[in-house]
Amino acid sequence: MTVHIKTFTPTPLFPPKTTWDIEGVKEAGIYTWFKEIQEELPNGWVKVDGQKMLMLGGYSYLGLNQNQEINQAAIDSIEKFGTGMSGSRFLAGTTTLHSELEQKIARMHGKEDAMVLSSGYLANVSTIACLLKKNDYIIGDKLNHASIMDGARYAQAKFVRYRHNDPEHLDAILGKIPHTARKLVVTDSVFSMSGTVANMPEIIKICKKHGAILMVDECHSIFVLGEKGGGIAEYFDLDPDDIDITMATLSKAIPSSGGYLAASTKIIDYLRHESRGFIYSGALTSTLTATALKSLEVFEKNRGELVKRLHENTAVFSEALRSYGIEIGHSETSIIPILIGDTTDAAIAAKKCQENGLFIHAVFPPVVPVGKAILRASITAAHKKEDLTAAAQKIYEILNELKHKNIHSIENS
């Protein structure tokens, strides 16, 4: 009797390998992510593993986290609405706080209407995915945030990327698209790894020339750019109507959570009834909504002072780093990329910084190009200037020490 043994194809590795060499970094003892913050302290300090550390890795640009007026608004909302929501915004999840917040956001951006979602990622993904249909086109900057890329990939439309911050290439791409097609151009206003600002006046000109709708992600520019924190419109003295859709977050300069869109009534009404991320997600809690609402009020009352302090602190830190010969690129904002180069050096530098009381992280490829790993610092209005100059000196000492140890990158090992 002949026995036929069936040959099975080996099951592929599951889960697949991570994009980053996480295991290698862990084995080398230089894994620095997911640190537990035990307490937030005054003046931009936090407590981690019982150690006091200067927070240089967060997004609280205006230093409003732990503001007592904002905290009280959150407490008051719990007493009135409780801690949770009863459903999505579409059904039982809209309170008077949500409507009030959306009206305030619309006025702030000079738009007719706005809508708030439970995260900034969701705001980008679900909006871009539902706005365009088959045979339409989405055109985005090559270095746009991952949420913009994901939204474009989920959409039925064709997705084309133009060279980073290159309006001429955008113009050339739009010129090849049929004039009858719907076209959505999407760009970050401030790019989150470099701190550079998009050439918005030229992008607007090109969108008008080709009849394209323009959507701008202002997560790192609103409340930050301009003398009064008015964002990209103030920075370039733009007409708010030149940007068709503004997206931003409530979890960076504003110490809450969630994301929002501001646009015409027609666009917002469409999104409220078509955006799957809005319809099929639980509403932003009333506590977070009240927090965001009060934060906007606090910002409006103190914007001049807060933004001035943020800009001054950014200048102090940037100038201190440059005085030590540390390369920080061409950032025009409070995002300061400290250019390291190879991946292992960046990981070791981050580990050394944290051991020396500086809460900062390395950023690896593919988030940044290969060979261009960075330490990414973010400055806030809460920082003290003397702490920032001391931090710059410590970073210089750490980088100088690593430079003389001839450390090789993961890619070359």
What residue spans define the domains of the chain? 29-62+303-403, 85-284
- pLDDT value at position 26? 87
| 71-123 pLDDT per residue, tens | 999 999 999 999 999 899 999 999 999 999 999 999 999 999 999 999 999 99
Residue 164 is among the residues annotated as catalytic for this protein: no
Neighbours of 37 (CB within 10 A): 14
Cα 280 from chain centroid? 23
Q: Which residue has the tokens 């809450």?
A: 256
List all residues 6 or more positions away from 388 whose beta carbon is below 8 Å from its beta carbon: 313, 316, 317, 320, 379
Q: What does pTM read for this prediction?
A: 0.92
CA atoms within 13 A on the CB side of 104: 19
The CATH class for the domain spanning 85-284 reads alpha beta
Distance CA 330, CA 193 (A): 11
Q: Retrieve residue 31's tokens.
A: 């894994």
Distance CA 304, CA 296 (A): 13
Catalytic annotation, pick one of 111, 145, 183, 220: 220
- pLDDT value at position 368? 86
Residue 192 is among the residues annotated as catalytic for this protein: yes
DSSP-based three-state secondary structure for 110: coil
| Long-range interactions of 387-392: CB distance < 8 A, separation 24+ | 387/43, 387/44, 387/45, 387/54, 388/313, 388/316, 388/317, 388/320, 389/316, 389/317, 389/320, 391/54, 391/56, 391/317, 391/358, 392/317, 392/320, 392/321, 392/323, 392/324, 392/326
Residue 256 is among the residues annotated as catalytic for this protein: no
Distance CA 55, CA 53 (A): 6
Which one-letter DSSP state was computed for residue 241? G
- pLDDT value at position 411? 40
Element (H, E) at 391: helix 385-403
CA atoms within 13 A on the CB side of 355: 10
Q: Retrieve residue 293's tokens.
A: 């609402």
How would you class 402 by CB atoms within 10 Å of its CB: exposed for 0-12, middle for 13-18, buried for 19 or more?
middle
Distance CA 137, CA 153 (A): 11
End-to-end distance of the chain based on CA atoms, in angstroms? 55
- pLDDT value at position 402? 87
CATH 3.90.1150.10 fits 29-62+303-403, yes or no: yes
Q: pLDDT by residue for the chain (413 residues), tens digit each?
A: 565 666 666 777 888 888 877 888 888 888 888 999 999 999 999 999 999 999 999 999 999 999 999 999 999 999 999 999 989 999 999 999 999 999 999 999 999 999 999 999 999 999 999 999 999 999 999 999 999 999 999 999 999 999 999 999 999 999 999 989 999 999 999 999 999 999 999 999 999 999 999 999 999 999 999 999 999 999 999 999 999 999 999 999 999 999 999 999 999 999 999 999 999 999 999 999 999 999 999 999 999 999 999 999 999 999 999 999 999 999 989 999 999 998 889 999 999 999 999 999 999 888 888 889 999 999 999 999 999 999 999 999 999 998 877 544 444 43
- pLDDT value at position 412? 41
| 144-183 pLDDT per residue, tens | 999 999 999 999 999 999 999 999 999 999 999 998 999 9
Beta-strand runs (E) in 135-182: 137-141, 158-162
- pLDDT value at position 5? 61
Q: Retrieve residue 412's tokens.
A: 């070359």
- pLDDT value at position 22? 83
DSSP-based three-state secondary structure for 275: coil
Distance CA 270, CA 263 (A): 11
- pLDDT value at position 3? 58
- pLDDT value at position 19? 80
Catalytic annotation, pick one of 189, 192, 286, 378: 192
| Long-range interactions of 32-37: CB distance < 8 A, separation 24+ | 32/347, 32/350, 32/351, 32/354, 32/361, 32/362, 33/361, 35/354, 35/359
Closest CA to 287 of 255, 248, 259: 255
Nearest 10 degrees: Cα torsion 322, 45, 147, 83: -160
Catalytic annotation, pick one of 98, 145, 183, 252: 252
Element (H, E) at 113: strand 113-117
